[in-house]
Structure formats: C-alpha cells, structure tokens
C-alpha cells in the first residue's frame, strides 16, 4: 500500500527517567539483534526479548519496526557528521596529502563501531525515502565541499573538480566499507596507508605540484 506512509515518530515522549532508559535499552538491543540476525530475521519480538521487555512496551516507544531502524541509522549518520565537523574545527591542513590522510582517518573512525551493523543499516534494510534523501544530500554536500577546495587550489588544471571529489569520497567510503567485510589485511594501518597512497597518487596526477 504505497499510499499509506507509515508513522515514524515515537508515540510517547519519556516523562520519567526510567522510560528514557527503556528507550535506550530498546535501541541498544535492536543494534545487537540486527548485528546477529540481519534485518529481516531481526523481529520486533526478538528485539523486545533481547531488551528484557515485553513487546507491548517496545511499541510504546516506536510505532513500528522501521522507526527503530531509522533511529539507529540517524545515530550513525550523526556520528559521521560530528566526526567531519570536529576534523574541520581542528583546522584544515594546507597540504593535500595531509588532508587526504585526515579524510581517510575520519572515514575509518566512522566505521569503527560495528561494521556488520553498518552493513545491515545501509545495504540490507529498506530505507524510507526521507532517509535516503538525507543520506544523498549529505554525501552531495561533502562532495561539493571537497570540489570547492580542489577548485581553490588548482584553478584550471582540473577538468572536472566535482567528479574528482566524487571519486575521492566514493573511493574512500566504498573501500573502507569493503575492507571491513573482506579484511584483506589484519592490520588496519596497512590498509589505511595503502588507501592514502591510492588517493594521493590520483590527486597528484590531477593536482600537479602541490606545496
């Protein structure tokens, strides 16, 4: 029934301290259940069970299963956003090689939680259009920011700054993601260095003679 959008907001705002904790318990339990069972087999009954609650209580706080997933996804996105903001706050290095390193580290940082959860959230689960749009605009903003930085430094050496920025962002995200799924090396720092090598090689080809 595509004409009936599901409610995604909580039906009750916590009044007592106890209920705030309960809500949190549900979210934490959901993360564990999704990690272990995946989205489809991560039933609401199982989540309630894992949280040590009755199914009824769960539905006091979340109107449906997707709302729980949405909460988890939002938290994940916010972590990423905060990581980027914090990095920018600490000041952007002038050198592109260092910028790339910072960028890669931030991406790794964002995936430092449980990669399996990340996989469930972003690949296995149905995402409501609103969230999809949010994700898309977030990535687009990041690409645009980096494109601006590229343009500022390179003037007309670069045929298509936005495309280059897209490559930087996509490569970093995709390979980081894939690293945790595949684990081609046990040592994260080896992966980190190699990814940085890949990106800087690309940039140096496009951005000659950075100082």
Residues contributing to the site for a second copy (CB under 8 A): 38, 40, 123-124, 126, 160, 162-164, 166-167, 170-171, 174-175, 177-178, 182, 184-185, 190, 194-195, 197-198, 201-202, 204-206
Binding positions for DNA, rule: CB under 7 A: 1, 6, 12, 14-19, 21-22, 41-45, 52-57, 59-60, 63-66
* Closer of 121 and 161 to DNA (Cβ): 121
* Closer of 70 and 195 to DNA (Cβ): 70
Distance CA 150, CA 160 (A): 10
Distance CA 50, CA 25 (A): 9
Two structure tokens written together for 183: 């684990």
Q: Whole-number minimum distance, CB 22 to a second copy, in Å?
A: 29
Alpha helices in 155-187, H assignment, sequence order:
161-182
Answer with the entry of a second copy, DNA, none that 18 interacts with (C-beta below 5 to 8 A by kind).
DNA
Distance CA 68, CA 132 (A): 16
Alpha helices in the chain, H assignment, sequence order:
17-37, 44-50, 55-61, 65-89, 96-110, 115-119, 129-154, 161-182, 188-206
Q: Whole-number minimum distance, CB 78 to a second copy, in Å?
A: 22
Distance CA 158, CA 103 (A): 20
Answer with the entry of DNA, a second copy, none that 57 interacts with (C-beta below 5 to 8 A by kind).
DNA
Closest CA to 22 of 52, 43, 67: 52
Q: Whole-number minimum distance, CB 205 to a second copy, in Å?
A: 4
Distance CA 162, CA 140 (A): 10
Q: Whole-number minimum distance, CB 169 to a second copy, in Å?
A: 10
* Closer of 40 and 55 to a second copy (Cβ): 40
Answer with the entry of a second copy, DNA, none that 152 interacts with (C-beta below 5 to 8 A by kind).
none
Q: Whole-number minimum distance, CB 93 to a second copy, in Å?
A: 21
């Amino acid at each position: 029934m595509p004409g009936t959008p599901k409610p995604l907001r909580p039906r009750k705002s916590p009044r007592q301290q106890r209920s705030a904790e309960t809500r949190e318990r549900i979210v934490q339990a959901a993360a564990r259940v999704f990690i272990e069972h995946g989205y489809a087999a991560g039933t609401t009954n199982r989540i309630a069970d894992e949280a040590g609650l009755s199914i009824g209580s769960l539905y006091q706080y979340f109107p449906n299963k997707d709302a729980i997933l949405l909460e988890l996804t939002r938290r994940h996105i916010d972590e990423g956003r905060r990581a980027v903001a914090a990095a920018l706050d600490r000041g952007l290095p002038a050198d592109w090689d260092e910028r790339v390193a910072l960028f890669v580290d931030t991406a790794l940082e964002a995936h430092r939680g449980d990669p399996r959860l990340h996989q469930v959230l972003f690949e296995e689960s149905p995402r409501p259009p609103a969230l999809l749009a949010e994700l898309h605009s977030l990535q687009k903003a990041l690409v645009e920011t980096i494109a601006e930085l590229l343009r500022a430094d390179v003037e007309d050496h670069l045929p298509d700054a936005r495309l280059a920025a897209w490559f930087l962002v996509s490569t970093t995200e995709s390979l980081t993601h894939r690293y945790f799924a595949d684990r081609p090396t046990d040592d994260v720092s080896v992966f980190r260095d190699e990814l940085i090598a890949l990106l800087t090689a690309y940039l140096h080809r496009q951005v000659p003679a950075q100082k």
